[in-house]
Homo-oligomer: A and B are copies of this chain.
Amino acid sequence: MKRKITLKHIARELEVSISTVSKALNNSSEISRDTKDKIQAFAKLYNYKPNNIAVSLKNKRTKNIGVIIPDIVHHFFTTVFRGIEQYANQHGYNVIVCVSDESFDREVINMEMLANGSIDGFIMALAGETQLKKDFNHLKEVTEQGIPLVLFDRVTDEIRCDKVVLNDAEIAYEATDSLIAEGRKRIALLTTDNFFSVSSSRELGYRKALEEHHISIDEQLILRLPYNEDVNGIESFLVANNIDAILSVNEIFAIHCMGLVQKMGLKIPEDISVIGFTDGILSKYSEPKLTTVAQHGDKMGEVAAKLLIEKIENDFDEEEEVFSTEVISATIIRRESTIN
């Protein structure tokens, strides 16, 4: 077992001082060609690499980014993560991930763990519970300590920081509008509890489209489910209401609907059109294939990482910080569950 070699080992072996070794390996012009060659050759031979931890302590830079997300077994978050990881890696950063599991407490604990020097900045999407409680003190503390923070998707107005969001309201408007253009009159909205910022934005877009087309909003046609995979209650909702189109805030509700609708003997898209959110694996392989809103998670992740790394590397702005909110444009992927 050959332990990692340090500057000290090299110095001792070559009978020079530690600082000479350090300079030689950093190719300092202070050191003679000869000794540089000798030291560099030796270092290569023994595969010397500086210890990241020591460098971090010295520079007060860890080159680590902390990512906190509510869920990892989830297509959207996973694509965002991929975007973050790729960009970060290309720029010499590693990514530490913690999962809040939608829990406020776990979010707080994870943030505190990482904030004690492990990372240079945070990228996160708020836990459901956090959005419900509206308690953002953990975020405040972190930003007050000067640790850069980028919020994505599930954001809050109460914290001043960079943000990356989808144009949820607009795209929901556009989707609803396209259903109306197909001649649909009784358009259902399947959504989650409204404390999720994205759900309420999407509902806004849905309502606006109906209003603009002078279709009165039937509150019966809005089904609010408590949680992402909680699919109960959809069936009775569908049979109780006379529906000719569905807008769903996620893939799972949409696919589940399609199955139920087909069992009821109705045809998609002839009798009922369906549009979902999240262009995941389900949408591509369902029967019929689902028309859905692509959220471009990769892009969101990349933009978030870019914003964060810029902030990390330019902390020279002492006081007058400027925060930006980047809006990612969603696109509707037209497949077989709609007519247009």
Contact = CB atoms under 8 A, between A and B. Distances in A.
Interface in A176-212: none
Contact of A118 (B47, B52, B282, B286): B52
A116 B286 contact: no
Contacts of A49: 112, 115-116
B255 A51 contact: no
A144 to B, nearest CB: 6
A45 interface: no
Interface in A1-25: 1-4
Interface in A95-122: 95-99, 110, 112-118
Contact of A285 (B82, B114, B117, B256): B256
Interface stretch (A73-81, A156-164, A213-221, A325-333): A73-81
A226 interface: no
Contacts of A64: 96, 118
Interface in A49-86: 49-54, 56-57, 62, 64, 72-73, 75, 78-79, 81-82, 85-86
Contacts of A75: 73
